[in-house]
């Protein structure tokens, strides 16, 4: 196993040129764009080389099977898509490590007593259609096919159009009891996105929980007008209202200890430099350990939005776009896996994951690999080769502990 780090990073090296974002830095890989297509082709080729049989489910997720697909399967994997300008590890590390770990079992002559699969979930980040964990939520029935079909991307294309172009049969989108019913245990390996393993001085850990989180759209409506001809006193400018809200959010969040509230995107309509906007959309991401806290935080932000809007003669509207409740991973499963690893730290995750979605339906666990920068969703996200190797070793050990033969 001396070369396992190189093996793990070799997988990342194979896809290193796919979806590089020359403008923002890092990677932009979004559902059914050119990069996503290339990554899917790479996955099929790589899995086939190991001897796995790949199928795409009716929601666009890929499953590479060792042995015939069937019940009580041991499933591992993650996602290949990214946020705009994201890092190289969030998602792909879990897929590459899963392929490496399964390849070792295949080459090591293990004869599994249950089906084994490597899965790639579609659009985990929600970067194209605005809905995080799209593929896993469709499978688990946590997103209705009707809602999914109508989701639109930045160019106004619907998911229905884009998915049909990629060959998905839209009549069969949605809850997939067959796919779900096959999973006996799902273990997702992921680069850590915070500093938990740095603080614990450990290369690998297990997830204990995930913060509940959601996305909300706050729309400020004002009066579109001419930037030169309109006196400052005559304006109803929704951008000024939106700015006041964004500036006030840290103060509101401070009243809810441990909560996180982020505005990562503000869109002015129509968006001309010499035009006072007629409306401004502010996308809010809010999270907290307790779901009631997140709800209270969002309500307080909504109240501040109304006040900021009124101050500018505008109106504000708050709409929930998506919500994932907080997750506590099955302690029985995590204890067993930690035992197989000789004891590793348990971490709370501030980031969302497909494993968090599946945890509501099937036994699920997560492994984290240390990120020495503590930065994620940015090009600086990182994992040392030795820690990647430790991650593959841990995943292999976990899979072995769940298999006979």
Indicate which single residue of 125, 176, 281, 393 sits in contact with ligand GLV (rule: CB under 6 A).
125
DSSP 27: B
Q: How many residues bind Mn ion (CB under 5 A)?
A: 3
CA 246 to chain centre: 24
Q: Is 381 in the site for Mn ion (CB under 5 A)?
A: no
Binding partner of 176, given ligand GLV, Mn ion, none, CB within 5-8 angstroms per partner class = none
Among 101, 117, 132, 246, binds ligand GLV (CB under 6 A): 132
Give the closest residue to 203 by CA, choosing from 50, 8, 16: 8
* Comparison of 191 and 308: residue with beta carbon closer to ligand GLV: 191
Joined together, the tokens standing for residue 294 give 């997140």
CB 21 within 8 A of CB 33: no
Q: Is 351 in the site for ligand GLV (CB under 6 A)?
A: yes
Residue 289 backbone phi and psi in degrees, to 5: -65, -40
* CB of 160 vs Mn ion, minimal distance in Å: 24
Q: How far is the CB of 175 from Mn ion (least distance, A)?
A: 21
Between residues 80 and 268, which has the closer beta carbon with respect to Mn ion?
Answer: 80
Q: Which does 91 bind (CB under 5 to 8 A by kind): Mn ion, ligand GLV, none?
A: Mn ion
* Residue 218: Cβ within 10 Å count: 27
DSSP reduced 3-state for 6: helix
Binds ligand GLV by CB under 6 A, chosen from 145, 238, 352, 391: 352
Q: C-beta of 284: minimal distance to ligand GLV in Å?
A: 13
Q: Which is nearer to ligand GLV, 151 or 276 (CB)?
A: 151
The answer to whether residue 87 forms part of the interface with ligand GLV (CB under 6 A) is no
DSSP state of 404: -
Q: Does the CA dihedral 179-180-182-187 come out positive or negative?
A: positive
- Name the burial class of residue 45, with classes exposed (0-12), middle (13-18) and buried (19+) by CB atoms within 10 angstroms of its CB: exposed
Residue 229 CB, nearest approach to ligand GLV (Å): 42
Q: Please tell me the distance from the alpha carbon of residue 347 to that of residue 229, in angstroms, as a whole number.
A: 56
First to last CA, the chain: 20
Which residues, 6+ apart, have CB-to-CB distance to 238 below 8 Å?
Answer: 220, 221, 222, 268, 277, 278, 279, 280, 309, 312, 314
Site string for Mn ion, 83-112 (x = CB under 5 A): -------xx---------------------
Shortest distance, position 115 Cβ to ligand GLV, whole Å: 28
Q: How far is the CB of 269 from ligand GLV (least distance, A)?
A: 25
DSSP codes, 390-402: HHHHHHHHHHHHT
H/E stretch holding 274: none
- Name which of 133 and 308 has its Cβ closer to Mn ion: 133
Q: Which residues bind ligand GLV (CB under 6 A)?
A: 125, 132, 351-352
Q: Which residues bind Mn ion (CB under 5 A)?
A: 90-91, 352
């Amino acid at each position: 196993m001396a070369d396992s780090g190189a093996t793990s990073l070799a997988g990342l090296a194979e896809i290193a040129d796919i979806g590089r974002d020359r403008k923002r830095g890092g990677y932009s890989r979004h559902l059914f764009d050119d990069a996503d297509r290339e990554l899917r082709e790479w996955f099929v080729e790589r899995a086939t080389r190991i001897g796995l049989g790949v199928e795409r489910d009716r929601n666009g997720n890929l499953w590479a099977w060792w042995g015939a697909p069937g019940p009580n399967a041991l499933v591992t994997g993650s996602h290949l898509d990214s946020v705009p300008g994201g890092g190289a590890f969030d998602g792909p590390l879990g897929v590459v490590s899963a392929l490496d770990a399964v390849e070792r079992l295949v080459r090591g002559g293990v004869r599994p007593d249950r089906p084994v699969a490597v899965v790639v979930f579609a659009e985990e980040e929600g970067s194209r259609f605005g809905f995080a964990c799209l593929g896993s939520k469709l499978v688990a029935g946590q997103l209705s096919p009707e809602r999914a079909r109508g989701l639109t991307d930045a160019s106004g294309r619907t998911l229905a159009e884009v998915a049909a172009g990629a060959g998905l049969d839209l009549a069969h989108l949605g809850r997939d009891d067959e796919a779900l019913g096959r999973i006996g245990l799902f273990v997702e390996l992921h680069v850590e996105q915070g500093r938990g393993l740095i603080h614990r001085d450990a290369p690998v850990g297990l997830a204990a929980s995930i913060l509940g989180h959601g996305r909300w759209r706050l729309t400020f409506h004002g009066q579109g007008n001419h930037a030169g001809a309109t006196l400052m006193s005559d304006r109803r400018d929704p951008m000024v209202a939106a700015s006041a809200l964004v500036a006030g959010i840290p103060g509101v969040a401070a009243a809810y200890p441990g909560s996180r509230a982020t505005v990562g995107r503000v869109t002015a309509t129509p968006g001309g430099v010499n035009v006072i906007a007629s409306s401004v959309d502010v996308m809010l991401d809010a999270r907290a350990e307790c779901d009631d806290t997140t709800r209270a935080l969002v309500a307080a932000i909504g109240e501040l939005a109304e006040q900021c809007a009124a101050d500018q003669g505008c109106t504000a509207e708050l709409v929930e776009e998506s919500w994932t409740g907080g997750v506590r991973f099955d302690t029985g499963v995590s204890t067993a896996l930690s035992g197989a690893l000789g004891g590793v730290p348990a971490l709370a995750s501030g980031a969302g994951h497909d494993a968090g979605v599946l945890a509501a339906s099937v036994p699920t666990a997560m492994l984290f690999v240390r990120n020495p920068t503590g930065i994620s969703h940015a090009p600086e996200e990182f994992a040392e080769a030795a820690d990647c190797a430790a991650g593959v070793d841990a995943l292999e050990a976990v899979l072995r502990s769940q298999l006979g033969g």
